[in-house]
Amino acid sequence: MILRMVGNKADADDLTADTFAKAYINIQQCEPHLSFRTWLYSIAYNNAIDHLRKKKVETIPLNPPATYRKSGEKELQNKLGVNTDNPEEVYIKKQNARLLHQALSTLKPKYRKLLELRYLKEYSFYEISEELKIPPSTIRVQLFRSREKLFDLLKNAGISH
């Protein structure tokens, strides 16, 4: 699971070792009535997410606010070494954004809602759980499925993640 998430064997090996170390140190926090496997999986998942957040690169929003475009556009272009005035790039970004919105609109409402809460509103699993009245473990599974469905739709539309 970690290797699938991070896509790098060396990082996955390090994160796996770290997962087992954290589990060993915090074994007293594992609830006896809950599955050890689920508890260990959640530690591994959170380690991988933390790792990905640390490696996250600065991105350019597809539709930055107008004030940002006016005041910081040239500074951002210089900082990132990108020329966003290229009409072809602007067209491709707009087309990709349109295809993303189309793909989202074709998902089942429950999957679309999960993706919106998690990635657009940046809710935690527990916040989503409270809002939708679904256990966090179910949220994780359904969110995984919704991402897979979205990636399949985007792949078929010619956009790769």
pLDDT recorded at residue 81 = 53
| 41-59 per-position pLDDT tens digit | 889 999 898 888 887 654 5
Q: What percent of the chain has pLDDT over 70?
A: 78
pLDDT above 80 for 151? yes
The secondary structure of 130-146 as a DSSP string is: HHHT--HHHHHHHHHHH
Three-state helix/strand/coil letters over the chain: CHHHHHCCHHHHHHHHHHHHHHHHHCHHHCCCCCCHHHHHHHHHHHHHHHHHHHHCCCCCCCCCCHHHHHHHHHHHHHHHCCCCCCHHHHHHHHHHHHHHHHHHHHCCHHHHHHHHHHHHCCCCHHHHHHHHCCCHHHHHHHHHHHHHHHHHHHHHHCCCC
Domain range annotation of the chain? 1-58, 85-161
Residue 31 tokens read as 């609830």
| 58-94 per-position pLDDT tens digit | 455 555 555 544 445 555 555 555 555 567 777 777 7
pLDDT above 80 for 120? no
Letter string b/e over residues 60-73, b meaning 16 or more CB atoms within 10 A of that residue's CB: eeeeeeeeeeeeee
Higher pLDDT, 101 or 83: 101
**pTM score above 0.85:** no
Rounded to the nearest integer, the mean pLDDT of the chain is: 78
pLDDT recorded at residue 161 = 47
pLDDT recorded at residue 82 = 52
Residue 116 tokens read as 């919106």
- Contact (Cβ atoms closer than 8 angstroms) between residue 146 and residue 109: no
Query: What fold characterizes domain 85-161?
Result: Arc Repressor Mutant, subunit A (1.10.10)
**Lowest-confidence pick of 17-26, 93-102, 117-126, 144-153:** 93-102
Q: What percent of the chain has pLDDT over 90?
A: 6
